[in-house]
Structure 1
Amino acid sequence: MVTRDDAQAILEQLAGPTALLRDDQWTAIEALVVQRRQALVVQRTGWGKSAVYFIAAKLLRQRGHGATVIVSPLLALMRNQVAAAQRAGVRAATINSGNVTEWDEIHQRVNSGDLDVLLVSPERLNNPEFRDTVLPALAADAGLVVVDEAHCVSDWGHDFRPDYRRIRTLIAELGSDVPVLATTATANDRVVNDVAAQLGVGRADNVPGGGRDTLVLRGGLDRESLRLSVVQAGGGAQRMAWLAEHLDSLPGSGIVYTLTVAQAHDVAALLRERGFEVAAYTGSTETAEREQLEADLLGNRVKALIATSALGMGFDKPDLGFVVHLGAPSSPIAYYQQVGRAGRSTDSAEVVLLPGREDQDVWRYFASVAFPSEAMVRNIIRQLEPDRPLSTPALEPLVDLGRTRLEMVLKVLDVDGAVRRVKGGWLATGQPWDYDEARYRQLDEGRRREQQAMLDYQSTDECRMTFLRRQLDDPGLTHGERCGRCDNCAGARFGAAVDDGAAALVQERLMRPGVEITPRKQWPSGLGKLGVSLSGRIGDGPAPGRAIGRLTDLGWGPRLRRVIDEPDGDVPSDVVQAAVKVLAAWDWADRPTAVLALDSDTHPVLIGSLARELARVGRLTDLGVLRYAAGRRPVSAANSAYRVAALDGAWSAPDPAAIAAAGGPVLLIDDVTDTGWTLTMAARLVKEAGAPAVLPLVLAATS
């Protein structure tokens, strides 16, 4: 018979001799281990959800049941969980993209019964080898299945991942007596109901598929240690100057969140110049470097990590002293989840939001990569065959979608049963598929409501913690409740004023123009299918180029966005001066001798006037404009192969005599670069006309 004392003993191994098992933790453990029930646990960060499933896993193992399978969304979360499990004497391992060399050994340990807990990413569940050789044994003999951060299963969740929806299939294949635990800290009523429906767990009387008796534990979301503040410090330079001025006074070490990768690197660079021990942490940071940065923050060897949302769920530093947001996330759910990193075992932690006018531009950009149209999705299905797998790279040139969105659509179609992933690629199943336009429209409307809620949070005069708890439908919230800690309850702890001199120095740093544009090195696969005879490495493309700045920069970003968004006209003088500074700092092997503007449907005057000004200032030969060819195809595709095919033959050939007379490299001028293919294809044409080198210079890079 399993007793509460048994669970308490394991908790002490896990969290130390002073740890005390909560009543509701024991309720959940007893339901899973003794009663073999399903459970849905929605509790705030720091409540101890991981303790529940590790204790349950060990108790079930002691009673002769199989290994526990934990589906977990992030590598950082998995690393922390494996370490926590080992402290409790639980034999745990993880299979994820960061430990490929260990997969075979872990598979053998699963098959031999030498593991108590296996943590897998949701993407693993549909890896053909794992799905066909490892998962059946786990499903047949599982002691417990845990879906951690279960809000990810929901379209309404702030971190929707199509792979999470595959978990329902896994649960459906389990034996009727295998307990299932779904946990999350960040879910409002809508997300909770969606999670219950997706996973088939929930109260039997109101959740489809919830026929099994299910325990639902949902607690209050107040965080007694968090002191919430909103500081309206102004533009990007003012906010960064505010951060540099206040960082030392913030308690302990913490996290500074930015909305984009470019901002994370810019902020980290500026703070390092000011003498702070900080580092950037983003989705593009290599796995080994991420582990080291996490360890540095855990060990207080850095004052802060300047991070995107890549550092979020599951990162566990109980004494994290502060969380600052340089720009507001688009969802109160996402914001609550990120600030929940702070103050988990401290009496007080500072949480500061420094919103910016450009935040909504970033929200709009990320919203623009939503689920594509029905015609586009059905074209993907048509390209697949039932018996000959097609890989994602091979499929890409057949459809008008970029790689990231294509993979997302394929995963959704896989979950919906219209396609199936196998070794070698994707197959069509022949199953009927309906485009749920109403659902996608509803998602878009919900996204806009959440964005408005974040704007309201910034301007509200009510208790900020109460505002967030209401957004998450906290069942413990009472009318008129106030936390007594936030700036609206206890008064502002931080002034918004910034020293003018400090702001000017930051502005000068941010406004140093010049971002390198890395040239494309490889032609996209499958161009032959589109009638273009290009393949392999690109040997005749442009040299590394330069942009004045990125549209997402805190410095040049707002200025460049205004220039691009305004009606076409002559290039402003400050932009010309910035371009001249970029040219002056350019470490080219051979100085350009000529300048050539690219034709444009949207900014012909802007681009042409910049080329003429640079020709005048630099005493370069003005080659005029590389004109569009008659009958050219519009370039609207996001997919690389389609884009290259549309650009092939898009311009009339430049004059070889004029290029030869210039006698040197050509500066190629455009307004914005996104994928880099316009510059690549134009440079190829200019080099074919005799230019020894082509140096792209654009006003702005998108990222």
Structure 2
Amino acid sequence: MSPTDVRSPVREAAEAHLRALVGRDDVSLRDDQWTAIEALAVDKRRALVVQRTGWGKSAVYFVATLLLREQGSGPTVIVSPLLALMRNQIAAAERAGIRAVTINSTNLEDWESTHDAIRAGEVDVLLVSPERLNNPGFRDEVLPRLAATCGLLVVDEAHCISDWGHDFRPDYRRIRTLLDDLPTGIPVLATTATANARVTSDVGEQLGDGVLVLRGSLDRQSLRLGVVHLKTAQQRLAWLADHLSEQPGSGIVYCLTVAATQEVADYLRSRGHHVAAYSGQTEQTERLALEADLIAGKVKALIATSALGMGFDATLGFVVNLGAPSSPVAYYQQVGRAGRGLASDQDSATVVLLPAIEDRDIWAYFASLAFPREELVRRTLEVLAEEGRPLSTAALETQVELNRTRLETMLKVLDVDGAVRRVRGGWESTGQPWAYDEERYRRVAEAREREQQAMIDYLRTDKCRMWFLRDQLDDPQAEPCGRCDNCGGLALSSDVSSAAVEEAEARLSRPGVVVEPRKMWPTGLASMGIDLKGKISAGASEGRAVARLTDLGYGQALRELFRPGTPDGPVPVPLVKAVLEVLGDWRPHVEAIAVVESATRPTLTENLADGLSRFLKVPVVARYAIVDPDVAPGQGAMNSAQRVSAVGRRYSLQGDVPAGPVLLVDDLVVTGWTLTRAAYALRQAGATDVLPLVLALQS
């Protein structure tokens, strides 16, 4: 019997499974989809599929799962970072009779029953979030069993494996170990829509020798791309207010920061639009409801950060980016949320980018969160080696100057590199040698800088925009689309109404952000000789700031004020007016003022305190003074315990504090611990209440 005779019945079975999966009798597999399925279910190979969003990658691994299960193979394990995608995939799988379950951070209560079902052979597909791979119990008890028994491993969003990718995730590095542990002959499928040639090569190498790479056209025929250049934040908001209703169907307005999602959503609601804010800080139940409302068209748009990732069942009519992502690859992924499921150019989706000058400041902030300097990594390894027992991340914070997120990320990388190991109770040293790959980290940073410049070039180009994005992804079939604003297929007005601009101006010129007080002392301070723990019973009350540095309104003026190199001086007149407006809305009752001394901006803080003293007609009675200048400004700011310790050494309260409410004045809040320790000292000295007033919050 020829190979064709053997494979024809398999393709017929695959076609039948596809029809059950999509619920239609008039569909069939494309040749490229069959090539991938054949590699997995017939040849038991490893494959990397780089195909555009909407190509049907999920159909490939579900159909392959059904074929492999019919052959007696174990369950398919899918690693995916998109919880929304997981929910949609489970619903699709059930249509084809696939028994699918998921293990992620939102369903802790289901884990035990899920593990029991896997052991009983009652599960066809297990969807796992990447952070599970680094959980000690899952890694040591569940993962080896899955590696030994699974019939197919699927790595979704596979560009996350590569630190060259735009969205590298340390949890994904554990997949390398999982690949090595798979028995011979277990097929592996890695899928992504956003991998350039370098990322494709890197992921392919990690999959091993003989991997089949299927790379297709990354054109999105349903998308019409355009850029609208407007000078001010007020005009960009006004454009949204005037033109959002013109966009087809429902969609997403992407913002670069969490603060912006709230600000923009509030403004658009005031202009009569049915929108809601969505970010990584949105509570899980609300997230699910908002995603369902968007898919059902019950809201015009979600105003979201990149935390919003939709599954393949979402058909959205538009994506608008208020601010540019830091790379064309990341932008291509976000615009790919639109246009899924649209049949033709007649049902096209609109994609609009509204860039801003401040985008680059936000890119720079996120770039500052890269892999830490070698001395910080070495310090972490030394602490774990000297301790000789597991240490929690919170305990490590007291001895390593990194915030918890960066410390956790670094430890995950060290775990995969074999230098540390995550165990119950925290992290422990393995004693294995470890080399700091400075050259690679430098080259990754340089690649990020090139991506940022490419994004700027995208904004300025007069060439086809879809061609530009596809070219950045090294798509060999890239060609002019005929649909974007530069190709003449999309006309975008930059007109904004005076009423919308005035309303946006009113919104953005309204200063005042709540400064939330710290509620708990960080753990582990006792090991640093500091007798502070538990709830902060004598601290600050809720305070006020003019704005966040990331805000659309006063954020720009504050970023300029606090930008390195800006000379010290009195509070600029526009910000004086903003402070007075904040006071007018807030109306704090205080009997005295205390000021946090500044080494970098002494004139600014003194001028602010003196002006408030004259306006409120209360005296400046105390200073949280610098007594140890050897403790540098901002020292320890990377984590709470280190910062509390540094602030305690650097400052001391000086002056006579009355038994009444005190206004505590500072320029910029970064971690909040300087205000917290100053307020604690004021309360200890007799103040009945402490109300902070600052110019800016860092975020």
Same fold (TM over 0.5): yes
Displacement after TM superposition at 1:639 (Å): 1.5
1:418 aligns with 2:419: yes
Q: Normalised by the size of structure 2, how large is the TM-score?
A: 0.96
Secondary structure of the residue aligned to 1:542 is coil
Matched with 1:206 is none
Deviations 1:19-39 (A, max 9, x none): 321111111111111111111
- Is 1:329 the counterpart of 2:330? The answer is no
Cα shift readout 1:674-701 (whole Å, capped 9, x = no counterpart)? 1100100111111222111111011000
CA contact (8 A) 2:134 2:412 kept: no
Residues 354-373 of structure 1, C-alpha deviation per residue, up to 9 Å, x if partnerless?
A: 00000000000000111111
Does the CA contact (< 8 Å) of 1:608 and 1:625 recur in 2? no
> Aligned-pair distance for 1:613?
1.2
Q: Which piece of structure 1 moves more, 369-378 or 557-566?
A: 557-566
Find the counterpart in structure 2 of residue 7 from structure 1.
14
2:623/2:655 contact within 8 Å kept: no
CA distance, structure 1, for counterparts of residue 63 and residue 311 of structure 2: 20
Post-superposition shift, 1:596? 2.0
| Distance in 2 between residues matched to 1:631 and 1:474, nearest whole Å | 55
Aligned to 1:643: 643
1:197 aligns with 2:194: no
> Does the 8 A contact of 1:226 with 1:348 survive in 2?
yes
Q: Which amino acid aligns with 1:348?
A: S
Amino acid aligned to 2:491: R
Structure 2 match to 1:585: 585
1:441 paired residue number: 442
- Residue 176 of structure 2 corresponds to 168
Q: Indicate the residue corresponding to 1:355 in structure 2.
A: 355
Q: Which residue number corresponds to residue 341 of structure 1?
A: 337
- Residue 367 of structure 2: aligned partner: 367
Q: Supply the distance in 2 between the matched residues of 1:623 and 1:35 (Cα, whole angstroms).
A: 80
Give the structure 1 partner of residue 3 of structure 2.
none
Q: State the 1:653 CA deviation.
A: 2.8
Offset of residue 160 of structure 1: 0.8
Per the TM alignment, residue 414 of structure 1 is displaced from its structure 2 partner at its CA by 0.3
Give the counterpart letter for 1:693 in structure 2.
D
User: 1: distance between equivalents of 2:350 and 2:642?
Assistant: 49
Q: Distance in 2 between matches of 1:587 and 1:67?
A: 63
The answer on whether the counterparts of 1:532 and 1:645 sit within 8 Å (CA) in structure 2 is: yes
| 2:225 is equivalent to residue 228 of structure 1 | yes
Deviates more, 1:545-554 or 1:628-637: 628-637
Question: Is 2:68 aligned against 1:60?
Answer: yes
* Residues 161-185 of structure 1 deviation map (CA, whole Å, 9 limit, x = unaligned): 1110111111111111100111101
- CA displacement, residues 481-502 of structure 1 (integer Å, 9 cap, x when unaligned): 3211100011651122322342
Structure 1: gaps (5+ residues):
201-209
Distance in 2 between the 1:61 and 1:241 partners? 55
1:530 is aligned to 528
Q: Is the 8 A contact 2:653 2:678 kept in 1?
A: no
**Structure 2 residue 152 is the aligned partner of structure 1 residue 154:** no
Distance change >3 Å, CA 641–CA 318, structure 1 → 2: closer
- 1:243 equivalent in alignment to 2:240: yes
Aligned match for 1:122, one of 130, 134, 142: 130
- 1:453 counterpart = 2:450: no
What is the CA–CA distance in structure 1 between the aligned matches of 2:611 and 2:390, rounded to whole Å? Answer: 54
Q: 1:587 to 1:101 in 2, by over 3 A?
A: farther
- Using the TM superposition, give the Cα deviation of residue 234 of structure 1 relative to its aligned residue in structure 2, in angstroms: 1.8
Counterpart of 2:37 in structure 1 is: 29
**Alpha-carbon offset, residue 650 of structure 1:** 2.8
TM-fit CA distance, 1:315: 2.9
SS at match of 2:651: coil
Say which SS state the counterpart of residue 508 (structure 1) adopts.
Answer: helix
Question: Larger deviation: 94-103 or 15-24?
Answer: 15-24
1:233 and 1:498 in contact (8 A); partners too: no
Question: Residue deviations 1:107-153, cap 9 Å, x none?
Answer: 10111111000010121112111122222221111110011110000
1:120-519 paired onto structure 2 within 5 Å: 120-200=128-208, 210=209, 213-312=210-309, 314-346=310-342, 347-385=347-385, 388-477=389-478, 481-490=479-488, 493-519=491-517
Which letter maps to 1:170? L
Matched, 1:72 2:80: yes
Is 1:539 paired with 2:537? yes
**What letter matches 1:9 in structure 2?**
A
Give the Cα–Cα distance (whole angstroms) in 1 for the partners of residues 368 and 225 of structure 2: 31
Between the aligned residues of both structures, percent identity stands at 60
The within-5 A match list for 1:657-676 is 659-660=657-658, 664-676=660-672
Q: Give secondary structure in 2 for the equivalent of 1:3.
A: helix
The alpha-carbon deviation at position 188 of structure 1 amounts to: 0.3
Deviations 1:326-345 (A, max 9, x none): 00000111000010111122
Give the C-alpha shift of residue 624 in structure 1: 6.0
CA distance change for structure 1 residues 317 and 271 in 2, over 3 Å: closer, same or farther? farther
| One of 591, 609, 612 as aligned partner of 2:610 | 612
Amino acid paired to 1:521: K
The code of the aligned residue for 1:664 comes to G
CA contact (8 A) 1:61 1:116 kept: yes
In the TM superposition, what whole-angstrom CA distance separates every residue of 1:641-683 from its partner, at most 9, and x where no partner exists?
Answer: 1111111143333323xx32xx531111111101100100111
Tell me the equivalent position of 1:207: none
Question: What is the distance in 1 between the residues matched to 2:484 and 2:646?
Answer: 55
Matched-pair contact (CA < 8 Å) for 2:590–2:661 = yes
Contact 1:218–1:475 (CA<8 Å) still a contact in 2?
no
- Alignment check: 8 A CA contact 2:17 2:96 kept: yes
Residue aligning to 1:690:
686
For residues 94 and 631 of structure 2, the distance between their equivalents in structure 1, rounded to whole angstroms, comes to 60
Partners of 1:170 and 1:632 in 2: how far apart? 48
Distance in 1, matches of 2:651 and 2:448, equals 41
Give the paired residue count. Answer: 682
The change in CA–CA distance for 1:652 and 1:389 in structure 2 (over 3 A counts) is closer
- 1:607: how far off? 1.2
**Judging changes above 3 Å, is the alpha-carbon distance between structure 1 residues 43 and 669 closer, same or farther for their aligned structure 2 residues?**
same
Please point out which of 608, 626, 629 is paired with 1:628.
626
| Letter matched to residue 603 of structure 1 | R
Separation of aligned partners in 1, 2:333 and 2:192: 10
CA distance in structure 2 between the partners assigned to 1:159 and 1:557 by the alignment: 27
Residues 507-546 of structure 1 deviation map (CA, whole Å, 9 limit, x = unaligned): 1111211111111111111112222111111112111111
Q: Take 2:359 and 2:626, find their aligned partners in 1: how far apart are those partners?
A: 36
Return 5+ residue gaps in structure 2 as ranges: 1-5
Aligned partner of residue 523 in structure 2, secondary structure: coil
**8 Å contact 2:335–2:351 — kept in the other structure?**
yes
Q: Contact (CA 8 Å) 2:204, 2:213: kept in 1 or not?
A: no
Cα deviation, residue 504, structure 1: 2.2
- Structure 1: distance between partners of 2:205 and 2:614: 66
**1:556-575 → structure 2 map (5 Å cutoff):** 556-565=554-563, 566-575=566-575
Residue 570 of structure 1 and its aligned partner are, at CA, apart by 0.9
Amino acid at match of 1:667: L
Of the structure 1 ranges 297-306 and 593-602, higher mean CA displacement relative to structure 2 is found in 593-602
8 Å Cα contact 1:238/1:498 also seen in 2: yes
Distance 2:651 2:422 in 1: 40
Which amino acid is 1:621 matched to?
A: P
Is 1:461–1:488's contact at 8 Å kept on the other side of the alignment?
Answer: yes
- 1:321–1:350 CA contact under 8 A, matched in 2: yes
Helix, strand or coil at the partner of 1:654: strand
In structure 2, give the amino acid aligned to 1:103: W
The CA distance in 1 between the partners of 2:417 and 2:42, in whole Å, is 35
Greater displacement, 685-694 / 179-188:
685-694
3-state SS of the aligned residue for 1:8? helix
